[in-house]
Amino acid sequence: MGGSSWLCDAPDRERLLEMGRRMRRSRAIMFALAFAVLVVCAPWMGWWMPVGLVAAAVGFLVTDQLMERMRRPEFAYLGAWVHAQCWIAGAVALSGGPRSPAVLWLAFPVASLPGRFTSRGLAAGVGLTLALLVAVTVGVDPQAVADAPELVLFPAVVVWSIPLLSYGLMRSDVQHRMESVVDPLTRMLNRKGLEVRATELAAQSALSGEPVGVVVGDVDRFKAVNDEHGHAAGDAVLAELAARMRTVLRAYDSAYRMGGEEFLVLVPGATPAETSDLAERLRAAIAREPVAGVPVTMSFGVAATAAGQGFAFPALYALADAALYEAKAAGRNCVRGGGPALAATAA
């Protein structure tokens, strides 16, 4: 997909599409309820309102199809959102302006902006909604607003409050989810994050046939580091070691702290030889110079599937873990498994 825009950051674009898929049922129920209410009220308010609501619903249905094929789907959603908001504003203007029972409906579309757009996009949506609110209340019946300012002020507070509360809840949920899958010491993903990614890779590998590699690494004699230098020094070693590993990994490789001094790397698209080569580069990067002032080395075990073989994480992890034990038995600071054994003498 394309780069970031003022509406949506590039990394959040997939979340925008996923949220759209998940919200379709809820949105359909909301439209159905609103349509039922408008049909009941049609003898007093006119049939044009339920017809307009159907047009807004169709706009979202068409947008759902377009978004899946666009490089920047946020602009398609913005178009449907503006269309729906303008329809609501028209309904307010034609059904009494500031005294219309539909005036609070302007807050419904605003509630859908947090989580989809950036804070700039959210601010723009709120600003447009407030402008429409003023236009269809003050612009339609300024005397009624002058006599009862609450007709505008109360809906304005609702328009502001709903996105603010939704944005705060959304950011809290995102932060909670991040903390649940990220190791606080190394800032690597943990076992819970590994489970999610392994499931994704299994599905991708089944469709594409591409191989997947697994690298399991363990710090050699880490207990001695804690005993000789203290646990604070041991934590510093793990944190810097994780940072050094990240400088070797590709952008689409994913690293995890399995617990203690054990790490794991998932290497999508890597053959057995390429997986072994990555493990060797990780080993060399760690052994090249002291980590947080402490000379340490790591042993690695690797395993990888062949192209078209499919990816079953438990079986591949077991092979890589067994290869790690071979590396430990071979004298540490070496790589085993995944094809020809790779070994090196500690610096």
Q: Residues with catalytic annotation?
A: 261
Please report where in the chains the tokens 């500031």 appear, as a residue: 98
Distance CA 339, CA 211 (A): 14
Indicate if the alpha-carbon torsion angle 253, 307, 336, 280 is positive or negative.
negative
Task: Count CB-CB contacts under 10 A for residue 83.
Answer: 16
Task: Count CB-CB contacts under 10 A for residue 92.
Answer: 26
Encoded tokens for 128: 């447009």
Element containing residue 45 per DSSP (H, E): helix 13-45
Encoded tokens for 181: 């899958």
Exposure of 166 in the CB half-sphere (CA atoms within 13 A): 20
Give how far Cα 323 sits from Cα of 267, 280, 314, Å. 16, 14, 14
